[in-house]
């Protein structure tokens, strides 16, 4: 009887860790999916309200994707590690295939983001100064039109036809040619000030954008390499991007020797 008790205790001690490992693996994978869901939730709600055609919205979506990519990687890695703990579980095998395939496509997307954001950023910078440039063109046309006027009545009629027309004095304090010259000079001063403002805004905006774009590019490439490594765990989850990063990795020489 004592020997039998010892055998049962030994058998129970052998099975308990197996059940614990299976439960731990499933819990780890579940936490991984929850982290992925948290990341996708942040990306989706940061994209509202939808303004698909605006470069500002597109840049915001890229920033949200890059910010959430770390959590996507952590969640995906937990699901992959869960399979390592319990490699015979069919559910974990299916989850791992889905994660590896998604990682391959995400690596490709992250690489494409690098050049795409520079194109979108140039559009955003142009949009920022578009309104001011239109105002400058309008001021130039007004100055040109004033230059063709010959009498005070023509000047008053033209000014009254302008949107948001300024109020002219009942009587000018100088002859019409002097008033005409002053008007053109004042408009030209506004044009010069607006032009300087646009140039300064564009220069500052370009510097800020380049700083952000370079940081985003570095992060995108690093995350693409990480997702490529994750995708490499699945034999059918590769593309040109993942194969490139694999060839640059420490396992490349081992693979070729085999």
- Give the model's pLDDT for residue 245: 67
Q: What does the block give as tokens for 131?
A: 């309104």
Q: What does the block give as tokens for 35?
A: 């982290």
- Give the model's pLDDT for residue 257: 39
Note whether 66 and 219 are within 8 A (CB): yes
Q: What does the block give as tokens for 152?
A: 């005070």
Least confident of 65-79, 176-190, 243-257: 243-257
Per-residue pLDDT band at 8 (split at 50, 70, 90) = very low
Residue in 184, 164, 165, 167 with CA at minimum distance from that of residue 176: 184
pLDDT of 254 > 50? The answer is no
Average pLDDT over residues 182-200: 89
| Cα within 13 Å of Cα(81), Cβ side | 13
- Give the model's pLDDT for residue 256: 34
DSSP 3-state of 219: helix
Count how many domains the chain has: 1
pLDDT of 154 > 60? The answer is yes
pLDDT of 10 > 80? The answer is no
- Give the model's pLDDT for residue 62: 92
pLDDT in tens, 80-122: 999 999 988 999 999 999 999 999 999 999 999 988 999 998 8
Q: Which residues span the domain enclosing 137? A: 2-257
pLDDT in tens, 117-146: 999 988 888 887 887 888 889 989 999 998
Please state, in angstroms and rounded to a whole number, the distance separating the CA atoms of residues 173 and 194: 28
pLDDT in tens, 34-49: 999 999 998 998 888 8
Average pLDDT, the chain: 83
- Give the model's pLDDT for residue 4: 44
Q: Which has more confidence, 148 or 249?
A: 148
The pTM score is 0.71
- Give the model's pLDDT for residue 48: 85
Note whether 139 and 193 are within 8 A (CB): no
Axis crossing angle, helix 2-46 with helix 90-146, rounded to the nearest 10:
10
Per-residue pLDDT band at 246 (split at 50, 70, 90) = low
pLDDT of 219 > 90? The answer is yes
Q: Which has more confidence, 95 or 247?
A: 95
Per-residue pLDDT band at 7 (split at 50, 70, 90) = very low
pLDDT in tens, 46-91: 888 888 888 889 999 999 999 999 999 999 999 999 999 998 899 9
Q: Which has more confidence, 227 or 2?
A: 227
């Amino acid at each position: 009887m004592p020997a039998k008790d010892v055998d049962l205790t030994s058998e129970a001690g052998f099975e308990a860790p197996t059940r614990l490992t299976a439960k731990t693996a499933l819990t780890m994978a579940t936490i991984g999916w929850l982290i992925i869901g948290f990341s996708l939730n942040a990306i989706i709600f940061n994209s509202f309200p939808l303004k698909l055609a605006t470069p500002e919205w597109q840049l915001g979506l890229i920033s949200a994707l890059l910010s959430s990519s770390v959590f996507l990687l952590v969640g995906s890695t937990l699901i992959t590690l869960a399979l390592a703990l319990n490699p015979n579980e069919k559910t974990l095998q299916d989850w791992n295939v889905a994660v590896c395939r998604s990682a391959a496509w995400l690596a490709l997307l992250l690489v494409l983001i690098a050049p795409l954001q520079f194109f979108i950023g140039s559009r955003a910078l142009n949009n920022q100064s578009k309104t001011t440039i239109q105002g400058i063109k309008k001021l130039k046309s007004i100055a040109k039109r004033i230059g063709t006027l010959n009498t005070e009545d023509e000047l008053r009629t033209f000014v009254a036809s302008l949107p948001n027309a300024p109020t002219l004095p009942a009587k000018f304090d100088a002859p019409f040619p002097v008033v005409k010259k002053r008007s053109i000079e004042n408009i030209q001063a506004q044009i010069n000030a607006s032009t300087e403002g646009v140039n300064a805004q564009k220069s500052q905006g370009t510097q800020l954008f380049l700083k952000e774009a370079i940081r985003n590019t570095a992060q995108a490439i690093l995350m693409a390499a990480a997702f490529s490594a994750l995708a490499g765990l699945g034999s059918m989850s590769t593309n040109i991007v993942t194969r490139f990063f694999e060839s640059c990795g420490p396992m490349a020489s081992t693979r070729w020797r085999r």
